Chains A and B, each alone.
Chain A
Amino acid sequence: MAKAELKSNKKTEIEDSSSLKGTLASVFFLGIFIVVTWVSVYFLFLDRF
């Protein structure tokens, strides 16, 4: 019983993942945008007196 459950869980995980790869790519694009802008302004801060 427990084994069967485990199996079905695993299966949905794989389907889930494959269908949200665009989402993962999109949020990572967003994340990288945030990091790049933050780092740019941080360097501006370091450069100025």
Chain B
Amino acid sequence: MSSQTAKLKVDPRDGKLAMAHFYVAFIALALGGLMGLLQTLVRSGKFELPWGIDYYQILTVHGVLMGLVLTTFFIMGFQYAAVSRTAGTHSPAARRIGWIGFWVMTVGTIMAATMVLLKEASVLYTFYAPLKAHWIFYLGMTFVVVGSWLDGAAQIMTYAKWRKENPGKPSPLLSFMAVINTVLWIVATLGVASTVLFQLLPWSLGLVDTVDVLISRTLFWYFGHPLVYFWLLPAYMCWYAIVPKIIGGKIFSDSLARLSFILFLLFSIPVGFHHQLMEPGIDPAWKFLQVVLTFMVIIPSLMTAFSLFATFERFGRSKGATGLFGWFKVLPWNDARFTVPFIGMASFIPAGAGGIINASNQMNQVVHNTIWVTGHFHLTAATSVVLTFFGISYWLVPHLTGRKLTKAMNKLGIIQGWVWFIGMVFMSGAMHFQGLLGGPRRSAFSTYGDAAQAAEWIPYQIAQAVGGSILFLGIILMIIIFVNLAFFAPKGEEEFPVGEAENLEEKAPMIFENWKLWLGITAALILFAYTIPFIDMIQNAPPGSPGFKTWNSW
């Protein structure tokens, strides 16, 4: 009985599944955060890991838990709830598929985590063939991906049902955005699924002797960049469609929000070469082509920046604010549901600027694989995205558990946001500067034989440890708030805010819901950007690589 006007509350049966995702996500946050803290302490040179634990082992745990587990579980839980709220309660069939997806992902996570803990898979979450992990690690990662497809299928089913029941009408904005992100995810994960299923699994099982490294990397990075947009788009969903309601304003333009999401779908995939700009075996012309496509994906973010400022300014002026920036002061700074995602938005300014530098073809030589890049994605993923996820949790978790965000927790949430911000200024800031000096990423503490240049990096590494410690405090605060909202906060009703467009007469053009068209263009762009380089790689392939295990076992 999904009526035309969606329910104001997520059905408790859907809420239960969303919460299941959040439990896993926040456990991942706690453990992954501890690993992050340890990494920064090791890199400061003042601390060594006990009991034979290896730096690269905890680095793998941190990357897998934060980059894959926390993000995927949170996003799927959030989108599942957002679709239920705006397109109507999921059908029993969709819910069953969602649950199967959840369990498949969870089992996959446990499989991969076990292998990492046994030191059978210190290959980082980016795989790095010809480093060869245990096959159970690869199979576990496959389960995570396949599980997420099932989770996504549940959202698509409910969206399709809404469309069928409401012919000729644009779908609810949040549902539309969730489905775009799910489709983006499915198209992107085809790459990582291909390298795992056709290359890494048969190779780690001993069915084939060698692996083609460049093809494996290319398939991985075909997935690796849309992966970061898969993290970002749920944050954009919150900024475009939820924050306006929280502050009491309106969505600046429903149609432009949809247009920007379509542009993300089209342009975030055929751009993986900008992660491979320094690699041999790929023609520079094809690299540059993908750099141009990468720059196309900046445009929807430029649109987003304008829309968000416009929402804020319109709201401020409606409250009587005057002058050029008077509207800024009247925003609800004492509301964690706004302030915390706002810190995330503001962080996206330096994050985006750094990203443009990374993607600028040969300029990548200055920063490639330096710790600048780590600093960059700790602004994008670990600040913009994660703080927005925290901001979402502050109302979504109590909404789903039938509790209230109390004043005390709201205040703690705001403190958490600022603690995070300060920690990140130290950590990410120091990483950016150290990176410009040439300090490498993914490296344990080293004086490089007392090299003068390496000595210059150490103060920055100490600053990172200070930042990392502050951030870990932020994680503790977040876990306290989450546990409170999930189990202890007073019973009550917490709103699931869904924004309304400023101009309700302006209906979104139906062409936005024409999936054949957008999937067609997406496929065409992918084929255009990848077909010829891929054929080149296969035709000119060197002898394959046997597997290596260059890390210590227990």
Contact = CB atoms under 8 A, between A and B. Distances in A.
Interface of A: 19-23, 25-27, 30, 33-34, 37-38, 41-42, 44-45, 48
A22 B306 contact: no
A41 B363 contact: yes
Interface string B325-337: 1111000000000
Contacts of B352: 34
Interface in B408-441: 436
Contact of B324 (A22, A45, A48): A22
Contact of A23 (B313, B326, B349, B365): B313
A40 to B, nearest CB: 9
Given A23-B313, A30-B349, A41-B363, 4 more contacts: A23-B312, A33-B353, A37-B350, A45-B366
A45 B362 CA distance: 9
A19 B310 CA distance: 9
B551 interface: no
Contacts of A38: 353, 356-357, 360
B353 A20 contact: no
Contacts of A22: 309, 313, 316, 323-328
Interface in B335-385: 349-350, 352-354, 356-357, 360, 362-363, 365-367
Given A21-B324, A26-B309, A48 B366 contact: yes
Contacts of B357: 37-38, 41
B90 to A, nearest CB: 38
Contact of A42 (B326, B327, B363): B363
A25 B325 contact: yes
Contact of B313 (A19, A41, A42, A45): A19
Contacts, number: 60
Contacts of B305: 26-27, 30
Interface string B289-333: 000000000000010011001101110110000011111100000
A19 B317 contact: yes
Given A27-B306, A45-B362, A34 B324 contact: no
Contacts of A42: 360, 363
A20 B363 contact: no
Nearest to B438: A48
A44 B314 CA distance: 40
A22 B317 CA distance: 10
Nearest to B324: A22
A48 B325 CA distance: 41
Nearest to A29: B349
A38 B352 CA distance: 11
A31 to B, nearest CB: 8
A19 B314 contact: yes
19 contacts: A20-B310, A20-B313, A22-B309, A22-B326, A23-B310, A23-B312, A23-B313, A25-B324, A26-B325, A27-B305, A27-B309, A33-B353, A37-B353, A38-B356, A42-B360, A42-B363, A44-B366, A44-B436, A48-B366
B309 A41 contact: no
Given A33-B349, A38-B356, A23 B366 contact: no
A21 to B, nearest CB: 6
Nearest to B372: A41
A3 B360 CA distance: 49
Contacts of A30: 305, 349
A48 B437 CA distance: 11
Give me the 9 closest cross-chain CB pairs, A-B, nearest first: A23-B309, A37-B353, A34-B353, A26-B309, A23-B310, A22-B313, A23-B313, A41-B357, A22-B324
A35 to B, nearest CB: 9
A25 B328 CA distance: 12
Nearest to B355: A34
A47 to B, nearest CB: 10
